[in-house]
Structures are given as structure tokens and as C-alpha cells.
Amino acid sequence: MGGAGYSCPMARSTSRGSAVFYRSPDDRYPMIVRAAGVHLWDSSGKQYLDLSSGISATAGIGQGRPEIADAMAAQVRRLSFVHSSRVTNDQQERLAARLADRAPEGVGKVMFTSGGSEANELSIRIARQYHLARGEWERTKVVSLAPSYHGATVGALSMTGRWDVNRSYTPNLMHTVKVTAPVNFRGPFAGLEGEALAERAAGAVEDAIEAAGPHTVSAFIAEPVSAAAGMTVPPASYWERIRAVCDRSGVLFITDEIVTGAGRTGEFLAMDHFGVTPDLCNLAKGLGGGYVPLGATLAADSIVDTIAVQNRRMAEVHTFSGAPVSCAAGAAVLDAIEGEGLVEQAAERGAFLRSLLEDRLGSLPVVGEIRGIGLMQMVEYVRSRRTREKIPAEAEASDTLSKAMFERGVMLNTLGASSSLVGDCTVFYPALTIGEADLEHGVDVLGEELERLHAGWT
């Protein structure tokens, strides 16, 4: 998930001494001044254990790594910037080749952006150029899931399926078709598992495409696993059915792997778990490791070839698309991921974290379900385990728990209920380098705070 949905852990203040326009203008923000590995320090010297990879699942290999700084500094001395509209550069070429090697067969082209929102929007523009090259100019509509989160730019917000995030901007957004995500804890798919869930949830996507008119639909975009959707892990057959639905309708299948990509789930791409290849795949966050703003869209060769044969072009590149310093940093991050076996470690530490959560929290009456994959795990809270009723909004569970954890020196965010399908959830996004002792400490603190606070929520 991107920056939306995280509550500020500090109390409100009417002081506006800073010149910064903060996300919440009247909130008081502590100043983080230093980091090393998975620990942060604020200006008062207080240390925090970061179980959120910089609060946004971004600092995936830990902070303060000298080899990343060295790679960036060396590139700055050699070539700091050149725009990609008329020339290329060696760092862009090298990183693109390495990502293409990591991609599924037939996905061999990469275009870079400055981040996840840009990558998601870029994939929609690529889809448009592809359909225009095929003479299918009526294909303009995008189908996405709700709840979901795809970013903060206008196009990304338009695809986002979270009313609490995009309701203020509705008059400014593009029309997109929203379909219920494959959430099975509550809602229309409650209690369904395996093939039953896959059939119903994928069928809803097919019905939406049919209702919109298949000849008018350009693309379907989805996160393989989404915090906004409660970290539900759909069965592989759901994605197999989605792939088939898109193929039958001539719709491009786009995966938003901004959070799930770069090893977080225990595979380099989350879709590798399911054995399904999308037409376009978007990466960011962990790709730059928090060291540089960096995103990428991986595209199937057939799409790029179709655009090229018709002599169309992707003229709307971003200023920092393929920037040499960003790509040099991205390559150094990839060196760490590959050289230290961090994809495999994410799978192992993810299983360890899941076991900790189930053993320490699973019996608490306020815990409704524990879900996730690899090093993205979520604990959802309920008023009643029997009815799965959400915590009442007036209890302010997400704010109180996030603040309590922060005060205990653990950066671990609890997201407020974002839809009727998903309640208050604590989200674990630790760095792929996290140690078992740090995970144990974080879960212990969370358990203690839940035992202290939960009676006041229900």
C-alpha cells in the first residue's frame, strides 16, 4: 500500500512553526534524523524498531548501507543526469536487462518511472497505445478491484478502490469500473475458499467487463496481495481465471506489484507464486530500497512489438525515467537482494513471523484473522469473533494502537477500516533483512498493547 491510510502517531498541535505543508497540517511530526538497518532515531535520541520498512514498505534491504551510497556517489561523479527522450545510458540498460531476466518468459521490456503511482499510470498509457496500434480506439475503460490502492496521482487515484482515499477528488477523477476484491472474511464472498472463491470472484470481473462492453475495456489492474483488501491471498485459480477472462475479452492484465515486488512475498514477483504471467507488471518501493525514487513497468514483448510496428511511440516519459543515478542505486539494491539471498530469506522470516503472530495473538478475542504472505502479514481486529463485526469507529482503535506502539519504540502501523469488507488491521512490512529477535520483540510489544487496550474498543 502507498502513503494513504497511515495515521499520525503523535497528538494534534496548533503550532505551525515548520514551513513544511504536512499531510495533516495540524499534526505534530517527530523528526527522524538517523537510521541503521531496521532501526531509526529521532532528534531526541529515542530509538525505534522499524517493522514497516520506512512506514511504507519501501526500505526493503535496511537503511544506511554503504555500498548503496558508494554506487550512487560513483555514478554522480561519472554521469548525474541525462533525459531518456533522445539518448540512453549504461545504468538504465543494465538494470532493465537484469529486471527482464527476473521477469516471466515473454516479458522482456522495461520502462522506468520515479515511483509507483507513475508506473501504474504508465501501464495504462502503454495499454492505450497498444489498443490504438491495433485499431481498437474504443478501448478506454479500466477495471480495478475494491478495495485496492494504486497511488496518489489522478490516474492512480481513479483506479484506487478506496472511497475514504479518493472521495474528495471524485469530480477530478477518471471513470473506472470497480469490482469487489476476492476478500473472503466478510462481504459477498465470505466463507468461500479455493475454487469456489476463484469462480465467484473472477466471475464478478468477467460480468463487469461484459456489462461495460468488452470492446470498450482496455485493461484490468490488480494487486496480487493488497493491504487495502485486508492482505487476503487469493487462490492461484483466481488469477488463472482472471488471465483467461482477460484473454477472451482482449483486455490487458496489469499487476500492481509496487509493494509485493522485489522479493517481499518470498518470490521476486508475487505473481510467481501463482504461475500466472501478466501483460504489464509495475514495480517501485523495494526496487529502489528507499535510497532513490524508482519505479518500473515490465512489459510483454508482444505489446512493445505491436506499438513499434505501427510506429507509435511512448512520448510521455517522465523526467527521471531511467535516470542514471536512480538506476545505479536500483542495481546496487538488486545486488543486495540477490547476493544475500533476501528473497529466500523473506519466505523463511515470513513463515517465522506468521508463527509468532498465531502463537502470541491468535487466541486473543479481539483478533479476527491473521493473513498475509512472506514478509507482509496483517492482523485484523473484530468486536466479535463469532459475527466478525468490526471495531466501532468511535473506538479509534487504529489511532490508539499506532500511537501506543510508537511510544513503545516500535514503528508498526494499524490502518483504520477502509471499507465494509476490511476492519482495523495492523500491517507488518519489515525489511527483508529483519532478524528473528527483532520480530519477536515487535510481536511481544504488540501483544502487550492489545491486551492493555482492546477492552476499550469493544
CATH for 195: 3.40.640.10
Q: Which residue has the higher pLDDT, 314 or 409?
A: 409
pLDDT (0 to 100) of residue 407:
97
Residue 11, pLDDT > 60, answer: no
Residue 9 has pLDDT above 60, yes or no: no
Instruction: Say yes or no: 183 and 285 in one domain.
Output: yes
Q: In the prediction, which pLDDT does 27 show?
A: 81
User: What is the pLDDT averaged over residues 253-261?
Assistant: 98
Decide if 4 is inside a domain: no
Q: 182 CB contacts (<8 Å, ≥6 apart)?
A: 145, 189, 197, 198, 201, 202, 229, 232, 234, 238
What local confidence, expressed as pLDDT, does residue 1 receive? 47
Quick one: pLDDT band at residue 314, thresholds 50, 70, 90?
confident
Among candidate residues 339, 364, 381, the one where a domain is terminated: 339
Residue 305: the pLDDT is 95
**Containing domain of residue 428, as a range?**
32-57+341-456
Query: Across residues 44-52, what is the average pLDDT?
Result: 98
Is there a domain that residue 119 lies in?
yes
Is 15 domain-assigned?
no
**Cα 65–chain centre separation:** 23
Total structural domains within the chain:
2
Whether residues 425 and 443 fall in one domain: yes
Residue 221 CB: number of other CB atoms within 10 A? 26
Give yes or no for residue 310 having a pLDDT over 80. no
Domain boundary, last residue among 314, 339, 364: 339
Report whether pLDDT(303) > 60.
yes
Q: What are phi and psi of 117, to 5 degrees?
A: -60, -45
Residue from 262, 198, 208, 209 nearest 232 by CA:
198
**Are both 46 and 72 inside the same structural domain?**
no
Residue at 7 is within a domain: no
Please state, for a pLDDT cut of 90, what percent of the chain lies above it: 89
270 with 357, same domain?
Answer: no
Per-residue pLDDT, 26: 81
Four-residue CA torsion sign, 306, 323, 117, 225: positive
**Confidence band for 16, pLDDT divided at 50, 70 and 90:** low
Domain's final residue, options 339, 356, 391: 339
Q: What pLDDT is recorded for position 13? A: 47
pLDDT confidence of 167, banded at 50, 70, 90?
confident
Q: Is the pLDDT of residue 403 over 50?
A: yes
On whether both 301 and 434 belong to a single domain, the answer is no
The predicted pLDDT at position 312 comes to 80
The answer to whether residues 257 and 372 belong to one domain is no
Average pLDDT over residues 240-244: 98
pLDDT at 4 over 90: no
Average pLDDT, the chain: 94
Are residue 330 and residue 360 in the same domain, yes or no?
no
Name the pairing type of β-strands 107-113 and 295-300: antiparallel
Residue 20, domain member (yes or no): no
Position 204 pLDDT exceeds 80: yes
CA distance 226 to 232: 7
Task: Give the pLDDT mean for 90-94.
Answer: 98
148 is a domain residue: yes
Pair 177, 231 in one domain? yes
Task: Let me know whether 175 and 249 are in one domain.
Answer: yes
Q: At 447, which CATH number?
A: 3.90.1150.10
Residues 79 and 210 in one domain: yes
| pLDDT at residue 10 in the model | 52
Over 70: is that where the pLDDT of 329 sits?
yes
**Shared domain check, 271 and 216:** yes
Residue 11 inside a domain? The answer is no
Tell me the per-residue pLDDT of 356-397, one tens digit each, with 9 for 90 and over. Answer: 999 999 999 999 999 999 999 999 999 999 999 999 999 999
Residue 372's DSSP bridge partners are 377
CA gap 99, 108 in Å, rounded: 8
In a domain, 216, yes or no: yes
Same-domain pairing of 395 and 319: no
Look at strands 410-411 and 47-50 and give their pairing. parallel
Length in residues, the chain: 458
